[in-house]
Structure 1
Amino acid sequence: MFKKEPHIKALSNLKNSERKKLLQTFQKQTNNEEYSFRTSTIKQTNFNGQKSVGTVYTDENNTPILFKEKHKEQLFPTVYSCWEYPALLPIVLTHGFVIEEHLFNGANLMISGSIPPFDPRCKIGTLCGIASKQAPETVLAIGIVELDLPSFDKVIGETGVAVKIIHYFNDGLSKVFKMKLEPPFVLSTQSKDNNISSKQIESSEQIKAVEKEQEDVKEASVDVEEIAEVLDHFTVSDVDYFITRALYYTLTQDKGLELPISASNFISNHIMRNLPPIDHNEVNVKKTSWKKSAKFLKHFEKEGFLKLKGKGDDLTIVGKNTDKDELKNFVPYKLGCSKSATESRESTTSKEKTSGMMYSLTLYKPFNLAKDLLKEVNLASHTYYTSQDIRSAVSQYISVKNLADTKDKGKVIMDDLLFDMVNKKKKVLNASRIIARGEILHPLLTNNFTEFYQIFKSDDTLLFKAPMKGSLPHIKIITEMKIGRKVITRVSNFEVFQVDPESLAADLRKICSGSTTISESQTFKCAEVQVQGPHGQSIIDHLNKLGIPSKWIDFENKLKKKKRK
């Protein structure tokens, strides 16, 4: 319902009688008389979405708690309401990567992606919450049950939509209200007397399913590096998770991987080197649920990731399948301190990183002809690469195809694929097939790759969960004179760096000793803070303190200098 941000009107407070009626209606619909609003003030506003219109109800902090469609009585709780009341709805469990990579992209939950046994209340037409098996009490999506789920003991081989998704964490509804609340993940196996029965958690079938699909676990709550830095001791499932992620990294990002390769070499020189910054004494194959390298590799061969040859423990990896969904959607993470072939890729970020400041990484995703080139050098075509990665891939392609000019090694004789990639946007007939090596990368990136950016905080944590499309935006500061000869300074395009407009306005009132107003920028279609007086440098200094470097800030002073007599 909220794949895109809906248009909303100004919030207005509900009358006390309307508030009570709303609460009674929702209690009756959910058969939960214990539910109550956390705040005495409830607000409402109308929304106009891409395919629906209706009403949203919020608490006094403007956190959306309920919504409904126009001309319909059914009230839908938001994920934020479910976080406050975990027992509000029956919960359907699924895998973390299904939520992160499918539901968060607007897909419905298929029966094959759910995890039985199911709550007996999950009948057709029932409202339910969707949660990860790693955090079974934290609802990340809301939907309507489409199948009689309790009748399914197994889901393998079954087809159909299990739950039609209505709303999910960080969708258009969350964005339009500028929500910054994070899911309260509790990684616990303790069962409680709520919507998830003890049988659902403790059944042997559930335990077998969890053990069988450990490799699919992708934690949605925190980054790999954060888990590694916070936890001192890891459970078996934690170790399985890290080793699995290292395998994904190896198959998609490790340029030093050459097949065929022995199992011992693959584990020691690739899997272990591609772990996040954690103690290798705590995380290694021996401490996984597989215990042995052979079992680990055979498991992923069975799942379709690898192709092996050999018997017993004497195995050789002879092939890999980069078309798996887990690898197509894999996002690289920060590696540990051990030396590896990928250190050169990370050095690009360390050069621009300044103490206490954010820093960025430019990434590229291939399309059309670029995918063909990457396949020629056995690289995944559905992941992100740095310019250095692509430069290496092009060099490898030139070497494999023997395209280097024998007379001048600094030049390349382009084949049809390279020629079309470099000259894609040119309409020059009979263009030369010979090009200098240094002139290949720029047109190749421009014509065949989509640019993304990722911002890192000063402590190396990600600002966004996934790279953002486009080039790195800049904050715009303009000092100008309005009608009436009043000097003002306007600041815009700062929300992308997670700077709150109200907080910024409050800070500037103190720093600049002047009144501030918040409006909408006509240039960027985002919030704009205006302060009285020429305070460009003061605002830049304040943004620097928030971790935003000056090179990401564009300052323009439109005040005309007085001419000297």
Structure 2
Amino acid sequence: MFRKPFHTKPQSHLRSSDRRKLRAELLAAYPSISEEVVVDLIPTKEGKDGGGEVISAKFVTHGGEQGVLYVVDGQPILWKDLSGCIFPTVYTLWRIPAMLPTIMTHGPVLQKLFDGADLMLPGVIIPAEGFHDFAYGDVAAVTVRGSPIPMAVGTMTVSSADIKKSRYEMRGKGVKILHTFGDYMWAHGNKSEPPELDFVEVGDADTSGSWTELEYNPSGASTPIASETLPASMQNLNLDGSVHGEIEQNNEEAVAKETDTEVKMSPAEMDQLLEQALFTVLKSRLPDDPKAFPMPSSLLYSNYIVPCRPRGTLIDIKQSSYKKVGKFLKAMEKRGLIKLKERGGETMLMSVNRQHPQIIEFVAPRKVAGDEKPAKPEGPADGSRSPTDSSKTNGKSGAGETISAVELYKASAKECRLFEEIGASKDALFTEADLRVAVTEYAEMKNLIDRANPRMVKIDAILCDAVLKKDEYQSVDYLPRDGILQRLTERMQPYHELHLPGREPEIRKGTLKPIQITVEQRQGRKTVTKVVGIERFGIDPEQLAGWLKVRCASSTSVTPIPGKANAAPVYEVMIQGSKVKEVCSVLEKECGMPFTGGKGSAVSSRFVEVVDKTKKK
């Protein structure tokens, strides 16, 4: 849990009432310790010399786990998870060794725990008197043979009754490790060593089985130990926690059960999975219409590659050797599969070489992970909105066909945890209606709806990160659902899905910018009308100029507007005279631009903005 750096949020000093509450919770969770010990651990008040300072801070680990950390005089003593369970740190356990029940292991196995592994039952030493009673999920400390000093904290993944029922066969996982000596939680304190390490010389240690056979490397690298120096009871022990001779028996039961949730793919395996998903996309999932390009790499990854992974697998670009989507796509470009271009700071897919021998030879699977829920290729996977069908036609818009757009939102880093809690992908795109359903579903799942006023929702740690500002962390406890929805839409990344007549729907990043019609005077009292921004709606400037020339009975011109390098060209269509109504009429009739409140009323269309510079202020 704390094997990698974790992030803490603004700290706050605990008041006397909060200290009393924390001491009461600690005594209730661990009744074996006395009240005097708890008072010594969590002082009642801060001394005149500055000692006894108690600080709390919310934290988020690299894996997304959240909780509250309690620090006394700069030393982390406890942390509390979102469910309210209290866990002591090794600093606290060194002061109160009997606070938790202990599980004993060997020194070399303990080193693997320092490296991030969980404690497997084959690596647990069975006491002569047998195990004390413990249940699944109980908090436990891990010690090394020959010493009572706790070196790690975790939760039991098996009960003592189950172990006794299996006649001590010791298969599978025993303890899920959360915190160890030497991890980043330990480094958050004064980095002191366990009490006995102050006078024990590791180099002179007896390797006959005492805990001093451990060689701790602060850098995190394991120190290999020759098997000849180990006692007979450890000769067959693997450092991953399994025992030769038992592994064949354990493999089908314990190991297979854990593989579904805990086995991580190697970078080479993840690379192969990414390539298979990409080949599936290039072979059969990308549209043939050239108007689908250029396509942002982020859209290609989230809406095509991720859904096209094989069923029962998960794709994470960070677990591959590429680490980033852009680097992966550039490697595929070097192989001649695709063509890319940098545009506006983002990598764009320009075209696909469908005649490449590897694409031709590749046999795409009939069903992929994204087929488990009905979605079209352009639609994002895992709970997001799918584009609707649209017939493919050429030329003008058909009868009754109009331009439409749907605003979409994508979670940024602070909102990801909220949607992961309800089972949605962090790459999914949501409409405002989807967000309202998601907020309601999360509030009901976490029992956050106020019974007295169902419109109000209690703000927990996840909603706090998603919708509150830093100065609101301690002051805002409830918000109305509409208020949460509004804050989410303001914080999330905007996208939009554009439906153009005769084309497949397109999902684009950012908010939709309207066509701008400007009326201004030039050369004295001469008036002209300029139209800019029609390219984003699939309107050809030359064709629009031709329609306007006939409709307005006036001269027109098309002029390129200087822009950024490598950006798509943008043109300005200019008509002589004040022709706003005529322009809107042509846009409505020929291009399918919707207007409300009367035909040709530009002010009533969300896709058209009119600026009249000829009117006196």
**Greater C-alpha Rg:** 2
TM-score for both structures, normalised by structure 2 = 0.38
TM-score for both structures, normalised by structure 1 = 0.42
